[in-house]
Amino acid sequence: MSLSDTLADIRRRNDWTLLAQAIPFARMLDLRVDVRGESFTCVLPYQPSLIGNPMVPALHGGAVGGFLECAGILHMLWSTEAQSIPKTINFGIDYLLSCRAQDTYANVYVVKLGKRVSNLRIEAWQTTPDKPVAVATMNLLMR
């Protein structure tokens, strides 16, 4: 089944939990999508393999960055009629706090939705959305 067929099936059934399974890297991270009405939250379940610094212990920065990039892409697939995966133009991340060995959540905010290019702000948090552990900005090429 092609990605566009999978997306059409997900939209028809309104079962967004399957969205992360459609992208191999998101599937590898075991990402989850939680959609409640108009609210979209992406979840990175804690796994010991994601630890980058066992002395703290803290999640690896690459795992957090990959999670935030996937959250942005998944959000755009959810919120638009995209038939293919948007391409990342650029991605910048600010690590604000150490990501502890626990589940991490991401909220995505669309700064500008364009026909060709969209700009997103993605905030990762663990205990409360008011205390982000990382913030990313992302530009995507919409096809």
Residues 6+ apart with CB under 8 A from 79: 40, 110
Domains contained in the chain, number = 1
Flag whether pLDDT at 2 surpasses 80: yes
Q: 6 — alpha (psi -120 to 50), left (phi > 0) or beta?
A: alpha
Dihedral sign, Cα of residue 83, residue 107, residue 27, residue 19: negative
Flag whether pLDDT at 4 surpasses 90: no
Full domain range(s) for residue 55: 3-141
| CATH code at position 127 | 3.10.129.10
**CA triple 26-36-106, angle to 5 deg:** 40
Q: Closest Cα to residue 32, out of 80, 87, 74?
A: 74
User: For 6-59, how does the pLDDT look when each residue is reduced to its tens digit (9 = 90+)?
Assistant: 888 998 988 888 889 888 999 999 999 999 888 999 999 999 999 998 888 999
User: For 102-117, how does the pLDDT look when each residue is reduced to its tens digit (9 = 90+)?
Assistant: 999 999 999 999 999 9
Measure the CA–CA gap between 43 and 67, rounded to whole angstroms. 9
Measure the CA–CA gap between 72 and 134, rounded to whole angstroms. 14
96 vs 11 pLDDT, higher one: 96
CB atoms within 10 A of CB 60: 14
